Amino acid sequence: MKLNTLKRGVLSLWLPHKLLLIMKLTTFILIIALAQVSAKGFGQRITLNEKNTSVKKVLHVIEQQSGYTFFYDTKDLPNTQITVQLKDASVEDAVKASLKDLPLTYKFVKNNIVLTRKETLPDNQPKTEILLKIDISGKVVDSLGRPLSGATVTNKNANTHTGANANGEFAITANEGDKIEIAFVGYQSYMFIAKPKESFVTITLHEILGNLNEVVVIGYGTQKKSDVTGSLSSLSSKDFKDQPVTRIDQALQGRVAGVQVVNNSGAPGGDVKIRVRGSNSILGDNNPLYVIDGFIGGDFNNLNPDDISNIEVLKDASSTAIYGSRGANGVVLITTKKGNAQKQEITLTPVFYSSKVIKKMDLLNAADFATTANARNAALGLSPIFTQAQIDDFRSNGGTNWQDEVFRTAPGQEYKLGYSGGNAKTQFFISGDYLNQDGVVINSNYKRYALRSNINTQFSDKLSTRLNISAIRRENLNTGNQGINGSVNQALSWAPTTKVRTAAGAYTIVDPMGSIYNNPVALANDVANIIDNSNVTLNGGANYHFFKDLSLDVSFGVDYQNIQGKNYSGPSVTNNIPNASRTSTELFNLQNTNTLNYSHLFNNVHSLNITAVFEQQKYTSSGFSANANSLTFANLGYDNLALSTTQSAGSAYSGSALISYVGRVNYAYKDKYLLTVSVRRDGSSKFQSTNQESTFPSVALGWKLSEEPFIKNLNLFDTFKIRGSWGLTGSQAINPYATLSTYLSDAYSAANSFNNTTVSSGIILGNAANPFLKWETTQAKDVGLDLSLFNNRLSFTADAYVKNTSDLLLSLPLPAYAGGGSIISNVGKMKNSGLEFYIGGTPVQSGKFTWSSSFNITFQKNLVKSLGSLTSVFSDKSVANAGAGLSTQPEFIIKPGYALGSYWGLKYLGTWKPNEAVEAAKYGNKPGDSHYQDLNGDNAINGSDFQIIGNGTPKQSLGWNNTFTYGDFSVNIFVQSLLGFSKLDYTYASSITANANARQATNVGILNRYQSGINESSNIPAFSSTNTDYFESSRFLENGNFVRLKNLNISYHLPKGTIKNVDLKIFVGATNLFTITKYKGFDPESTNAGSGSDINQSIDFGSYPNSKTFNAGAVFKF
């Protein structure tokens, strides 16, 4: 009893009880499964109790118990029954006993046993005339000498074949002169002639880039890539093997045409935005749908990238309509690794990181700041702030470099362990991962612990099962988005003449010269924003083949997340009134998918594949929160909220369900005319009965011109395919209760109360009910071209697409007489269009040297077409008080004829020049003051002069990946770019102006300000009592374009045999090594925008910058 209590108490410090129960079940299932594999797959003593059993089955039993693989010609096995009874015998004794009295002989070749028929000679035939068979054995390797497990070895004359084992070794019987072919998927095949003196051969196969005959994962099935009629992009783990990827977005960024990845936050584990062919919704979520091993709606953050085998990105409606109401934003299919029946392998990968901020801003030192502050006061008619003695002291002894205080060189470490193997019946893959990464901002950190087990079992030729279990925990400390009062922004606003701590050792609370906000070091160290996310996913299923062409697949899955939030703000950042809060959220996602598939080839001409699916999902979310102000004991932080002056609590629950029917037909005529038709009908609990169900059809056509004689005879194209598609997809990414009225509690002051007390509480209308809400629907069209040439050494893909979304959901205000609040309605239309190009190949493959290269570029355009009866919609202010004088104005506007992410602000015309003094005076200004465009000519600058001044949505994205290999050395260079967008740089604005939030400018750019008679051409305003700096203006709108060396990696693969029984690769590398940009801020990529909505984009107000990271590590394979 005591022991059980102790165990639960220790673990519950970081795991909830329900999670513990799931993990106990996981552990139990895992132990039983692995025990079965271990007992049946790797014993070296053989026990047989076979009575009247076929020879083939007896050999199979020996394989299972010994780990050896039999190689034989099936024609040589006698069709007879044998009886063998042995206990704890050696492998050789078991083989002898099994082959007793049979016309077979055996030979051990490493881990293989080769069986051949005993030759008998007629009495009248001389021995010299016998044609003896040759037992050929060998090894299949790639260009680096690594074994190719599973390579197919075929005797073309005898029509027999075998496979290479885990070490690439094979054995096959042939007659002299027989043709032997070696083949492996993705590699050029090789053929040789069997000769008696060459009984052992080593074969090197060379890789083919862009093989379109590979099998790819599509929705609810797989398909040969050359037969795909939709638009999809495929990545395998080898495509990013030269980059130490810690999250899936790093694998996708810049590598897939049509996919745009933006790291909003550079914090480890920070926010990222992924878009597939643009943004389709205003109110709803624009993130793509993630499907992990068939489980829909998974979170890519809850996945160890080292577990990934393949990633497929479905982009057009023909590919995504199969997911219906969740396919409008694209679908990312992720397949994790599986075990290998012929190969048992342990992989250990330690990686060490060192990160620093990409760049630092050029700020004034203490002496220059003091001099500039005095100059500003003089211009304003005020007394100097600093004496010359103080300035001289700053010149000699320096001041505070707040960037050095806030930023640091951040270490990190990661350890990845994988174990895979199995036998003919059961294969397994087990992995573990530990990541600990400090952020470049002090007191920020991200930790991840991950475990995974994938087990596949083939019970018979008809029945197979699978069970995937993953558990992951993520711990985030101060990695959320920053803002105006974040440590990054305040490091640019606090004066370099102010010290971090007082003489007594406490944090300096007030900056008398710079920012009105908190000490940036205190903001980092005396604040704790913690999010601990624990996730367990169980996904299992069974597949049964009724006969060759018909199969049924049934799967069940559950995803459980427990999110614990803990927040604390200490005395130094709360005016000595510390506060804390805690939140707890539980998420459940249940899924059942039933798939019936029929596939048949009629007369070698008509290929037909029919898929029918019935699927159901249920989601629930529940949670509570507790808040406390004026903590009695600040050192207890969030661990004792009751000891405080005031407390509050809240709770929430939501749930939804989805039921779906899916059908798809794939048809091919003569393997060159292709047709795909699909339809999905979804029913969602989020809508009222009148609009609860919707249908999403699609159709696609393809034509393989490379199979036509007039093209095939050119001997130029391996693949030449044109395709086109049309389809409807939808979105139900709204609150589960958006069709219902919601109410809010509110408090009113005494002046508005009914009983003349201090405060009256009551209920007000939040959102009004709209029972007529329906799905957002996207109609998409796509045409594409797929080419491959020169034995697949060069491939090219092009796509053009148009997506029109209708019935966009918007929140519209209600008049006061209707109760106020707002109502969600289907009123908008939006269009996305674009072009995508991909080219990849192996330009050089000569001897030991290989150069592989791939390049993709996307041109994307977004357009809001209609907002119903509205002419425009303004976003809520995305950054508090950012307007600095015009704080009632939003930064973003949604307007027909313009793209999402349009900036709303004043057009900055520079500074008033001396020859414009008379005109400036009409606005109360003088030369050197800020000059803004007056749209209505009323000689006043106000909200009526705001206009669209730019857009924050990138219009082009590209990636260029190059890998150079010479022998065992490899160099990978990856360049990524975003082009065609602007950024609203409030970070720069807050450091170059004296404004409502900062008393003095700190940026060195202020030295180049307008000065009468000295520097009158400058567009940086002069120090003036009549000047007003508005943040929301084109003055602080900058070109956000950048080209970045995203990854540089150098690796060396030690020759096999250097270390006994160990395959070792060592590597060093760097990410974000350098960036070409005109952007003045820390980083052109990081923003304060969120990852879901695209209304607010590319705004930077102290956002957490991305880092330059160096890494070193090794890959050990045992």
Residue 49's pLDDT band (cuts 50, 70, 90): confident
User: Taking the CB of residue 426, how many other CB atoms lie within 10 A of it?
Assistant: 22
pLDDT band at 914, cuts 50/70/90? very high
Amino acid identity of residue 523, one-letter, is L
Number of structural domains (the chain) is: 2
More confident residue, 864 or 180: 864
CATH of the domain at 267: 2.170.130.10
Start-to-end CA span in the chain (Å): 42
Burial class (CB in 10 A: 0-12, 13-18, 19+), 75: exposed
Of the residues 285, 318, 348, the one at which a domain ends = 348
pLDDT in tens, 559-583: 999 999 999 999 998 888 999 999 9
Same domain, 224 and 162: no
689: left (phi over 0), alpha (psi -120 to 50) or beta: alpha
Residue 927 has pLDDT above 90, yes or no: yes
pLDDT digits (tens, 9 = 90+) for 317-332: 888 988 888 888 899 9
**CA-to-CA distance for 695 and 232, rounded, in angstroms?**
22
Residues 74 and 157 in one domain: yes
Report d(CA 926, CA 929) in Å as an integer: 6
Question: How large is the average pLDDT for residues 508-520?
Answer: 86
Quick one: average pLDDT of 759-775?
73
Of all residues in the chain, the percent with pLDDT exceeding 70 is: 88
Residues 617, 611: Cα–Cα separation, whole Å:
19
What is the DSSP secondary structure assignment for residue 643, as one 8-state letter? S
Q: How far is CA 212 from the centre of its chain?
A: 25
The answer as to whether 505 is a domain residue is no
Q: At what angle do helices 91-99 and 55-66 cross, to 10 degrees?
A: 180
Residue 1075 has pLDDT above 80, yes or no: yes
The residues, ordered by sequence, that sit 6+ positions from 392 with a Cβ below 8 Å of its Cβ are 367
- What distance in Å separates the CA atoms of residue 454 and residue 967, rounded to the nearest whole number? 34
Q: Are residues 269 and 131 in the same domain?
A: no
Contact, 1052 vs 1039, CB < 8 A? no
CA neighbor of 59 nearest in space, from 333, 415, 424: 424
Confidence of residue 44 (pLDDT cuts 50, 70, 90): low
* Domain-terminating residue out of 285, 316, 348: 348
**Is 70 exceeded by the pLDDT of residue 756?**
no
Distance CA 73, CA 53 (A): 19
State whether 158 and 240 are in the same domain.
Answer: no
pLDDT band at 186 (very low <50, low <70, confident <90, very high): low
Say whether 544 sits in a helix, a strand or coil: strand
Q: Is residue 894 part of a domain?
A: no
Which of 138-142, 765-769, 1040-1044, 1094-1098 is most confident?
1040-1044
Residue 521 has a pLDDT of 94
Helix, strand, coil percent content, the chain, rounded in steps of 5? 15, 50, 35
Q: For residues 323 and 732, is the Cβ–Cβ distance under 8 A?
A: no
Is residue 91 domain-shared with residue 149, that is, in the same domain? yes
Bridge partners for 983 per DSSP? 1038
The pLDDT assigned to 920 comes to: 94
Extract the tokens encoding 921: 């005076």
Asked if residue 241 and residue 157 are part of one domain, the reply reads no
Same domain, yes or no: 198 and 54: yes
pLDDT band at 239 (very low <50, low <70, confident <90, very high): confident
Tally of CA atoms within 13 A in the half-sphere of 999 that contains its CB: 18
Q: How many helices (H) and strands (E) does the chain have?
A: 14, 56
Predicted pLDDT of residue 1061: 84
Decide if 966 is inside a domain.
no
Q: Between residues 652 and 75, which one has the greater pLDDT?
A: 652
- CATH no. for residue 64? 2.60.40.10
CA angle 819, 822, 828 (to 5 degrees): 140
What is the rounded average pLDDT for all residues in the chain?
84
Q: Residue 525 is inside which H or E element, if any?
A: helix 520-525
Report the pLDDT averaged over residues 861-886. Answer: 69
Greatest Cα pair distance in the chain = 127
What pLDDT sits at residue 120? 54
User: Which residues are registered as beta bridge partners of 236?
Assistant: 310
- pLDDT at position 912, please? 95
| Beta pairing partners, 621 | 587, 654
Domain boundaries, position 266? 219-348
Judge whether 511 and 457 are in contact, CB under 8 Å.
Answer: no
d(CA 768, CA 765): 7
> Quick one: pLDDT band at residue 3, thresholds 50, 70, 90?
very low
- Residue 970 tokens read as 């490899």
Give the pLDDT score at 207: 67
Find out whether 170 and 151 touch, Cβ atoms under 8 Å. Answer: yes
Q: How far apart are CA 622 and CA 584, in angstroms?
A: 8
Say yes or no to pLDDT of 128 above 80.
no
Statement: residue 138 has pLDDT above 70: yes
- Mean pLDDT across 1061-1082: 92
Of the candidate ranges 209-218, 261-270, 801-810, the one whose mean pLDDT is the lowest: 209-218
Residue 192 domain-assigned (yes or no): yes
Tokens of 663: 């059908």
d(CA 96, CA 716): 55
1059: DSSP letter: B
Q: Which residues does residue 410 pair with via DSSP β-bridges, in sequence order? A: 355
| pLDDT recorded at residue 734 | 75
Mean pLDDT confidence for 297-314 = 88
Residue 401: the pLDDT is 96
Pair (109, 237) in one structural domain? no
Q: What is the pLDDT of residues 669-679, one digit of tens each?
A: 998 999 999 99
- For residue 961 the two structure tokens come to 């990946």
**Degrees, nearest 5: CA angle 471-476-479:** 140
User: Please, which pLDDT band fits residue 1046 given cuts at 50, 70 and 90?
Assistant: very high
pLDDT value at position 214? 65
The whole-number pLDDT of residue 199 equals: 65
Bridging pattern class, strands 1037-1039 and 956-966: unpaired
For the ranges 260-269, 429-438, 736-745, 1050-1059, the maximum mean pLDDT occurs at: 429-438
If you write DSSP's letter for every residue of 970-1011 in order, what string do you get?
EEEEEEEEEES-EEEEHHHHHHHS--SSBSS--BGGGGG--B
Q: Please, are residues 417 and 434 in contact by the beta-carbon 8 Å criterion?
A: no
How much of the chain exceeds pLDDT 90, in percent?
44
What integer is the mean pLDDT of 55-79?
A: 80
Q: Do 320 and 242 share a structural domain? A: yes
d(CA 90, CA 80): 24
Mapping DSSP onto H, E and C, the string for 465-500 reads: EEEEEEEEEEEEECCCCCCCCCHHHHHHHCCCCCCC
- Interval 620-634 mean pLDDT: 90
Q: Where are the beta strands (DSSP E) in 734-821?
A: 743-749, 759-765, 767-768, 776-789, 794-813
Give the pLDDT mean for 278-296: 87
Between 1110 and 21, the higher pLDDT residue:
1110
Residue 208: per-residue pLDDT = 59
Handedness of CA 750, 753, 756, 758 (dihedral sign): negative
pLDDT per residue as tens digits for the range 995-1029? 666 678 999 999 999 999 999 999 999 999 898 88
1091: how many CB neighbours lie within 10 A of its CB? 18
The answer to whether residue 971 is domain-embedded is no
Do 66 and 195 share a structural domain? yes
Structural domain contains residue 1035: no
Q: Say which DSSP state 459 is in.
A: -
Give the integer Cα–Cα distance in Å for 835 and 428.
42
Q: What is the pLDDT of residue 16?
A: 45
For residues 61 and 1008, the model is more confident at 1008
Measured distance CA(54)–CA(58) in Å, rounded: 7
Backbone angles phi, psi at 84, to 5 degrees: -135, 125
The three-class DSSP label of residue 702 is strand
Confidence of residue 727 (pLDDT cuts 50, 70, 90): very high
- Same domain, yes or no: 292 and 195: no
Q: Is residue 109 part of a domain?
A: yes
Model confidence at 1114, in pLDDT bands (50, 70, 90)?
very high
Of 153, 177, 204, the one marking the end of a domain is 204
pTM across the whole model: 0.80
C-alpha distances (whole Å) from 559 to each of 128, 354, 555, 590, 645 are 71, 34, 13, 7, 39
Q: Do residues 224 and 90 share a domain?
A: no
Please tell me which of 128-132, 386-390, 601-605 the model is most confident about, judged by mean pLDDT: 386-390
In a domain, 640, yes or no: no
Count Cβ neighbours within 10 Å for each residue of 92-121 and write b for 16 or more, e otherwise.
eebbebbbeebebeeeebeebbbbbbeeee
